[in-house]
Structure 1
Amino acid sequence: MWTVVAVSVTVLITWAYATTQRLDRLHIRLDRSRDALQAALDRRCAVIAACYPDLASRARRVEEVRLRPRNVLDRLAAEDELRAALERQEASSSGKADLADADTRVSLALRFYNEAVADTRALRLNPVVRTLRLGGTAAMPQFCALRHAPESSLEEGGARCGDGGYAGYGG
């Protein structure tokens, strides 16, 4: 009888340890993908500042907004506002090509970020993981997309965050 209990406890502890290690790796992957998204968004702001002199100061202000684990919406809302202003501007053909390249990089970074979010959420939302609080104190990651994304990168517009619902910032 005690042998069965000891084996069961050992299996549970081993599973919990392996799961926490997996969650740690997923959170590291999430941090790296968020950093890559930050870099892609910063690069696009730099391209906008170089190709659209009228929007340079606005692009620099947007670039100063950092992506944070608990709230990526601040930067995405600023990016959407900048993109809306950008659509009212005229640019040279080389500026459009550079911007298209930067947009592609942002789309890819968003895709990698959302994949990392999906994998992390899938494990963190497991009832046993939640009950044992194996996710620690890290914020639950949110899915995100840009409202003014290029047509090739996202099928629908709309800033989306959370569980697929639209973001709650004035839009």
Structure 2
Amino acid sequence: MTVLVVILAVILVIVAAWAYSRANRLDRLNVRVDLAWQALAAALERRTVVVRVITSWMDNSGDPAVRTAARDLAACADAADRAPRSAREDAENALSRALSRIDPIGRPVGLVAELADAETRVMMARRFYNDAVRDTRSLADRFLVRLLHLGGTAARPEYFEIVERITPGTGG
């Protein structure tokens, strides 16, 4: 009888150690998602700043059509900047579509390069974020992790899907 109790105690300790390590891993993955989101938000904000510089440059144009396009682009940038996290994808996609309608020819080379760099950083940050979300969801979706509620009260992370680059003339 004591052998059985010892065996059950050993099994219980092994299961508890496994559960603790899974819960700890899931917590670290949730922290990774949060940090990746902060990096993505910073990259999106940087792109918005570059867009505002471009709209400022366009607003100084003598062409009324360019000035109207600048106001539309600025409105999209403001909407993307103020959008809550749940609506951020749509707002950022609208900004990408508005950017695709702006002809880069005639724009200062520095602004073109700055926008390209900002868009590349957004693309990379989005990929890192989505990788973190994939890893977290993969662990959180496992049967025993769900059964034992090892995820605690952490919200299930959602992917962030935006168009990476829209080439002019395609419209999305």
Judge conservation of contact 1:38–1:66 (CA < 8 Å) in 2.
no
2:135 to 94, 119, 122: 119
Equivalent-residue separation in structure 2 for 1:142 and 1:130 (angstroms): 17
The structure whose Rg is larger is 2
Which structure carries more relative contact order (alpha carbon 8 Å, separation 6+)? 2
Give the SS at the match of 2:156: coil
Q: Which runs of 5+ in 1 are unaligned?
A: 153-157, 159-171
The 5-angstrom pairing of residues 92-171 of structure 1 reads 92=107, 93-147=109-163, 149-150=164-165
How many residues are matched? 148
Q: 2:93 is paired with a residue of what secondary structure?
A: helix
2:149 is matched by which residue type in structure 1? Answer: R
Report whether the alignment pairs 1:65 with 2:83.
yes
Alignment partner, residue 168 of structure 1: none
Cα-to-partner distance string for 1:36-55 (whole Å, 9 max, x where unaligned): 00000010011011112312
What is the TM-score of this pair, normalised by structure 1? 0.79
2:103 paired with 1:86: no
Match of 2:21 among 15, 18, 29: 18
CA–CA separation in structure 1 for the residues paired with 2:94 and 2:79: 12
Higher strand proportion: 1
| 2:55 aligned residue (48, 52, 56) | 52
Which 5+ residue runs of structure 2 have no aligned equivalent? 57-69
Q: Which has the higher helix share?
A: 2
Check conservation: 2:52, 2:74, Cα contact below 8 A. Answer: yes
User: RMSD of the TM alignment (CA)?
Assistant: 2.0
Q: TM-score, normalised by structure 2?
A: 0.79
Q: State the distance in 2 between where 1:143 and 1:107 align.
A: 13
Q: Within 5 Å, which residues of 2 pair with 1:31-46?
A: 31-46=34-49
CA, structure 1 residues 35+52, in 2 after alignment: closer, same or farther (shift >3 Å)? Answer: same
Q: Which residue of 2 aligns with 1:164?
A: none
Give SS of 1:52's match: helix
Which consecutive segments of 4 or more residues in structure 1 shift more than 4 A? Answer: none
Tell me the equivalent position of 1:161: none
Q: Give % identity.
A: 41
| Structure 1 position 66, deviation (Å) | 4.0
